[in-house]
Amino acid sequence: MNRVKDKVAIVTGGSGVLGKAEALLLALEGAKVVVTDIVEAGGKEVVAVIRRQGGEAMFIRHDVANEEEWIAVIDQTMSKYGRLDILVNNAGVAMNRPIEEMTLSDWRSVMAVNLDGVFLGTKHAVGAMKKSGGGSIVNISSVAGLVGLGAGSSAYSASKGGVRLFSKASAFQLSKAGHGYNIRVNSVHPAFVLTPLMRASFVRRLKKRGAPWKEVKQIRADWTMVGHLGEPDDVAYAVLYLASDESKFVTGTELVIDGGFTAR
């Protein structure tokens, strides 16, 4: 129950299924959690759950593509808790659209949240983490940042691939040896985790075949070596490990949570 005791964490996209699981687990393990999202009701509910369970948390409305809002989030976190140890760049959006049908505006809207948001969060967390003596930045990417997932995923894959390499480059710059930052940076790459977004995406893809959700779920489970789809806590435990001192020798790497999908 004390794997991140007394650490202060920011979790973006905290009202979503993955963000909620990450925030709740970090709080359960002793962290003070700042939950941010553009969806106020969902984010406030996550904070309420944490408080009911005896944890400490606060909510800040936050568009991760807006630099001024990032500055405000960091300032409010430091004002409230006096330090920042963990940043989970979890907020993200998906788009399933063929390249020839995608507008430049479509492309940029995905990059703004998925890639610009990670850059801005890292940029503005660095100063606060240096004052705290170091920290851990965990960037949520995807298996789509490792392999191509098929038609319609080009913008999403490009953004998530960018997150992977940005994380590696950041890990080098922000390292302790030779640079003095003492900030670790890693990326997490989930696949086929049961979320409303995944369900909607898969149902759309197979709608023409008239496949019921039960069949869709099994088809995707067959893509994994473990024989079932992932759950939000599978990702949350990966985040917890990378956020904690248990991973003190881990930086600049990607942790793949995909049931073996990319090992084929």
CB contact at 8 A, 48 and 70: no
Q: Is 156 designated active site?
A: yes
Looking only at the bridges linking them, the beta strands covering 183-190 and 56-61 are unpaired
Among the options 81, 156, 181, 241, which is catalytic?
156
Contacts of 127 (CB under 8 A, 6+ apart): 74
Could you tell me the sign of the dihedral formed by the alpha carbons of 108, 113, 116, 120, in that order? Answer: positive
Q: Is the dihedral of CA 137, 138, 142, 143 positive or negative?
A: positive
Residues belonging to the chain: 264
- The crossing angle, in degrees rounded to 10, of helices 17-28 and 232-243 is 50
Helix (H) or strand (E) segment spanning residue 27 = helix 17-28
Q: Which two tokens stand for residue 252?
A: 């600049």
β pairing state of 135-140 and 183-190: parallel
Catalytic residues: 156
